[in-house]
Amino acid sequence: MIALRILGVLAVLCIAAVVGLFTLAWQSSIAPVSRPAANDFDPAKIKRGAALAALGDCNTCHTTTGGGAFAGGVPVPTPFGTIYSTNITPDEDTGIGRWSEAAFRRALRQGVDRAGHQLYPAFPYDHFTLLSDDDISALYAFFMTRRPVRAMAPASGLPFPLNIRMIIAGWKLLFFHQGPFKPNPNQSDELNRGAYLVDGIGHCGACHTPRNALGAEDMGNAFGGGEVDGWTAYALNKDSPAPVPWDGKALHDYLRRGWSSEHGMAHGPMVQVIENLKSISDSDIAAMTSYLSNVFGEPSAERRRAAEALLVREYGSHGAAQAGSTPTGAQNVGAMIYQSTCAICHEGGQPLPFGGIDLALSTGPSGPNARNVINVVLWGFPAASGERAPIMPGFADALTDSQLEELLTYIRSRFSDKPAWIDLAHDIRVARGNRPDVSSAPGTDPAGRAVSEHEARR
């Protein structure tokens, strides 16, 4: 009898919990509208939306190589399973053609689609929630005036119970803070603008902030460095591994053109980010630069001294480029491979971006792991089509695993004062399994053109 009563209480509690979660998760559908005509939108607003969409790298996740611009279907690998991006062209049946601006706003700000389904946080609404109504409206104008593409995204392959979208409501309760952005009255307008762009539409933290076991950004360690597609997104805060601390000029150079003489080139997924930033105004780049300078913070006196010594060694006290630093003379296998294979370009004395960077300045050899260096050595930089761009041949098939390991060990010991990397053999094996798609090299991506100014003006 007592057991029965306990069971009854438990049942009631369970029902209450389910009802509670359901209430929390339940969102009403927003009535479909007929697709607004393209000339309903102000061209200036569409243009502003195009720049925001570029800054938000919408194409990176929503356009497949060779696929229709923003038609979705890009697999987004997560530690929990693969999610496929949705079609955000204004196609009525498979895209967002029947979404009102209110529905669009709710998706960005609350992570709920028009029909009321919870959206997985692979869609970075934890950042987009900061967007102003005005900017959301401009993005809406931009997307509703794209060419509609009929394409149904594959269903996401998440295992039970993650395939039940209701549980995302629980995730949000724990980790999601709804916007919009509140400027800090004690900071300059430029800094506030930078914070709004970097933390909002730019969602830089999505890659550069580490994530916890449930896939949420660890806000206690904002910009502490993360992972994306087999690449390490380096820390942008005091833990930055860059041998020369980032300053405003270096950041501006890097964001504007994809390289900085004292740090090196953008690699991996960052190449597409830089490509997209080309359509951003100088003043917005400057605002992001000021905010990011603050995130990096003032380097310690010790770090600054080490960097100055490095730069004097590099350029001489008069700023004239030196022909490479003197090798240590250690003639192990790694040193010999470096001297015969890498030094030709990396100590050639030709400045960036067409010469190779002195690896003592590059962040890679001082990084927390060897993954980025491995990726670059294996796959190089494919030549970009239609523009001048840095090049490097890949050495995947020229180097055996053990030769590559020797080379990496030498690079780490010669160009960084940090302890030797561990797990090199494992990282090499994983990287070899991730041969990049050369057809998506910068300049050949149809998505890049999809957000060009030319199209925005149309």
Partner 1 sequence: MKLTVNSREYDVDAEPDTPLLYILRDNLELNGAKFGCGLGQCGACTVLVDGEAVFSCVTPLLLLEGRKVTTVEGLGTVENPGPLQRAFIDEQAAQCGYCIPGMMMRAQALLQKNAHASDAEIRAALQPNLCRCGTHMRILRAVHRAAELLKSARAETSTGSVR
Helix (H, G, I), strand (E, B) or coil at 228: strand
As measured in angstroms, the least distance from the Cβ of 230 to partner 1 is 19
Within 156-195, the residues that bind partner 1 by CB under 8 A are: none
Partners of 231 in beta bridges: 228
77 lies in the binding site for partner 1 (CB under 8 A): no
Within 419-458, the residues that bind partner 1 by CB under 8 A are: 437-439
387 lies in the binding site for partner 1 (CB under 8 A): no
Yes or no: say if 133 and 184 are a contact pair by the CB < 8 Å rule: no
Window 28-67: contact mask with partner 1 (x via CB under 8 A): ----------------------------------------
Q: In sequence order, which residues have a C-beta less than 8 Å from that of residue 97 and are 6 or more positions away? A: 35, 89, 90, 91, 144, 148
Beta carbon nearer to partner 1, 22 or 354: 354
Beta carbon nearer to partner 1, 152 or 336: 336
Query: Distance of alpha carbon 403 from its chain centroid, rounded?
Result: 31
Buried b (16+ CB within 10 A) or exposed e, 296-306: beebeeebeeb
Beta carbon nearer to partner 1, 33 or 441: 441
417 lies in the binding site for partner 1 (CB under 8 A): no
302 lies in the binding site for partner 1 (CB under 8 A): no
Q: Which of 12, 398, 420, 425 binds partner 1 (CB under 8 A)?
A: 398
Judged by CB under 8 A, the number of residues near partner 1 is 22
CA distance linking residue 155 with residue 294, whole number of Å: 41
CA distance linking residue 123 with residue 115, whole number of Å: 16
Over its C-alpha atoms, the chain yields an Rg (Å, rounded) of 24
Q: In sequence order, which residues have a C-beta less than 8 Å from that of residue 270 and are 6 or more positions away? A: 231, 233
CA distance linking residue 438 with residue 428, whole number of Å: 19
CA angle 166, 174, 239 (to 5 degrees): 130
Within 344-363, the residues that bind partner 1 by CB under 8 A are: 344
As measured in angstroms, the least distance from the Cβ of 432 to partner 1 is 11
Q: In sequence order, which residues have a C-beta less than 8 Å from that of residue 458 and are 6 or more positions away? A: none
324 lies in the binding site for partner 1 (CB under 8 A): no
337 lies in the binding site for partner 1 (CB under 8 A): yes
Roughly what angle, to the nearest 10 degrees, separates helices 371-379 and 401-415?
A: 130
Beta carbon nearer to partner 1, 35 or 432: 432
Residue range at the interface with partner 1 (CB under 8 A); choices 114-122, 199-207, 317-325, 377-385: 377-385
As measured in angstroms, the least distance from the Cβ of 438 to partner 1 is 5
Buried b (16+ CB within 10 A) or exposed e, 184-207: eeeeeebbbbbbbbbbbbbbbbbb
Helix (H, G, I), strand (E, B) or coil at 369: coil
| DSSP secondary structure string for all residues of 50-78 | HHHHHHTTHHHHH--TTS-TT----EEEE
Residue range at the interface with partner 1 (CB under 8 A); choices 12-20, 258-266, 295-303, 386-394: 386-394
Q: Which of 34, 39, 186, 340 binds partner 1 (CB under 8 A)?
A: 340
399 lies in the binding site for partner 1 (CB under 8 A): yes
Beta carbon nearer to partner 1, 300 or 400: 400
Beta carbon nearer to partner 1, 221 or 444: 444
Distances (CA, A) of 239 to 222, 332, 404: 11, 32, 27
Q: Which of 32, 81, 324, 380 binds partner 1 (CB under 8 A)?
A: 380
Residue range at the interface with partner 1 (CB under 8 A); choices 226-234, 244-252, 379-387, 449-457: 379-387
330 lies in the binding site for partner 1 (CB under 8 A): no
Q: Which of 21, 24, 216, 383 binds partner 1 (CB under 8 A)?
A: 383
Contact positions vs partner 1 (CB under 8 A)? 336-337, 339-341, 344, 380, 382-383, 391-393, 395-400, 403, 437-439
